[in-house]
Structure 1
Amino acid sequence: MVDDELMIDDMMEFADEDEISQVSSYSLESWKVLIVDDEVEIHNITRLALEDFNFDKKRLQFLSAYSGAEARRMMTENPDIAVVLLDVIMESDDAGLITAKYIRETLQNRAVRIILRTGQPGQVPERQAIVDYDIDDYKTKTEFTSQKLFTTIITALRSYKAYTSLAALNANLDHANAELIRANKLKDEFLATMNHELRTPLNGILGMAECLYEEIFGAINPSQKDAIETIQSSGNHLLELIQDILDVSQIMAGMIKLDIKTIAIADLCNSSLELVQQQALKKQIQLTTSVFSNTEVIAVDQLRIRQVLFNLLDNAVKFTPAGGKVSLDVRIVNDPSREIAITHPMANSSWIKFSVADTGIGIDSSDRDKLFKPFIQLDSGLNRKYEGSGLGLVIVKEIVKLHGGSVDFNSQIGQGSCFIILLPYRDSSTLNTPKDHSALSANPSQ
């Protein structure tokens, strides 16, 4: 038991301390403190000791509970209680611990500061109480002098204030993030519905330019022809940019629905290479493809995967100097150690691997994190002269992700790059050596 006379003497001294200011100059708001103890004297002494206490321009509002069960009810009804002075032994030897566990686990109240004070410290070791029951402080009743009570409450309220302020900031941040996500989704949905409105007038401009170039409306001189070629070139570039923006917006807005069908892999690769063959011919770049014999068919959205391969091949040709090489290799690999093979719902141990390699300018390792971000082109003297929207690899990554796959690459400045696409493959046949290698050559000498 606490020596009541000693405690009361201490309280009288406590009330005269400089830290206590007059309540009349402060607001009427208060900090709620719940006293939980089966001894009435403890309630009285605590109230007397903290009678003139204030912190942050607020006084204390005392609530009393004389059992663990009553304390649990009061905590449920008053979730804004800041501090609980909690006795351990009341209607049972562990009533206080049960109450602490109820506050933290059942009510999920992490803000309230729980201060355990007991007259029998050996009943529950301090370390066990703090660790196992998420207690903020542990005091014996005999050490609770007026000054100790003052500093304990001050510390607890500061901690409570910091916790609730942080929780409020987190809530505001969550709300702001939700608003940003909503605004971004609305933006994506708006752009995704602008396909017809943006493309139709631009197609009209390009069609009219073609008619002028073909002299359908009458003869034109060489200078006019050059001007029309510039209009056509710029218009086609703008059309590609609009299409890239619309593709990204549709993907981000969740408006892309995959049309999964079984297709021949060789046909997919050859048709993708044909899309860049003319560009490669102009730069004397050799295009080759290698498809392993056990990779005959795959279930994908043919249009979207062709778009992926075209973007990778187009980049490879664009960033490869004249006379270089670009290759497309396709094979089945078994790599269950990859994270995607463990977490993705479609995952199994077999993957089809598309590798697009070039002998181009390469990518610096410091630019790896920028590569798949929208509207970002790597700031390098080597590639600054190449035009583009910076959306091609974003589209690649998102389409592959929709298929349950992954994108990776390795590269070295001045020696080229290799982009690797892994897609889930349902046929886990044994790996074979290549039966044959087909090649599409863009080198006129071959």
Structure 2
Amino acid sequence: MKDTEDTYSFYEGEDAVGAACLIRDSWKVLVVDDDAELQRATKSALAGFVFQDKELQLLFAFSAAEAKQVLCDNVDIAVILLDVVMEDDLAGLNLVKYIRDELKNRFVRILLRTGQPGIAPEKSVIVDYDINGFLEKSDLTIQKLYTAIITCLRSYRDITDLEKVNHALAEEFQRRLEAEKAASQQAQQAALGLAISQIMHGAKNILNALKGGKYLIDSALKNNSLDLVKQGWDITKIGISRMETLTGDLLSLSRFNKLQLNPGSVNSLIVEIVQSYEINHTCTECKPIEISIEIDESLPEVMFDQYALHTAVLNLLSNAVDACKDKIYPEDDYDGGHVSVRTYTCGDGCATIEVEDNGCGIKPDEISRVFNLFYSTKHTRGNGLGLSITQKIIKEHGGNIDVFSEAGKGTKFRIKLPHIKNRTFRTSKK
């Protein structure tokens, strides 16, 4: 190694071959060369070398075979000064392939030092081998050596810092992924617990009603009282009706995953629902709830599941009637409660169904929760399943449902369903 800028003497102390300067905070540099004199010169030239307040810890090997062992024992080597011709003409180049391909070490920076550039021409080596610099021994000065090593150390520092950041990001990503998974599992368990609790609470209320009816009937039988029998039976019928509603809603919540879609008239369905409801729910109040229908005859055909959409609209109609029953109308309001069910085609081409009432309305802080499972504005009279089921049915038809309400004045639910020309449905096979 030639020095054109400064003179230096070889290190004449302990044998440098295979020795290491044990420094706690240092850069590890491996010198691989079968020339002992060149190794001593390298050690002397790099004595006192400091980069970023860290000295060099020099490791030495006479051959590629020795270098492999040193590499296995030291995974954090930053730079390798590597001779090409050692055991054979290509020993150094084969070591490069071993480091990159077998050890999968992409971090260490490799500087080739050759005294026979004809055997390993610089251009060919740079193209064919993953090295980071090419030095000719005949033209190598201390300054050039320093410059090459500093360049490699900077590169090694940046790569390892980036790897640490990537590793930290991967760990953080995994931690967040596991945290989200745990949170999701907890949320699912909490939701399941809430669902079971709500179902049991509803069933318990119904059971209490049935027990009340049973008690009155038992008392009537003991006292031979027909009036008590009628009272007990009326209470029992209410309990049975509520149980039918609860079990029907639970079945509806689980069954609408495969709709039987067929083209049909929404208008005909609406008329059928309203007429059936009026027959089965005759109002006995002084001012009965009036239900009116407004039909758009130009409404296009829609692909829908007859049973599912019937359930959805009936839920809205029942809720609207209940809202009117819950409201106390002024004495001068002769008309009292009124529910309108209408159909029309809106500007976006969707078939629209609206159910509007002038009942008690929904409080502003409750509107965003009306579709939540088990949430009910009816409190003990409702199980909180109807609107959740309705929203689920409409979404599975490819439509959407919105609610508009003002406390004390009434509520409007609007369903939009794409008609046949706007959307292609896949009908489920039975």
Query: Which one has a bigger Cα radius of gyration?
Result: 2
What is the TM-score normalised by the length of structure 1?
A: 0.48
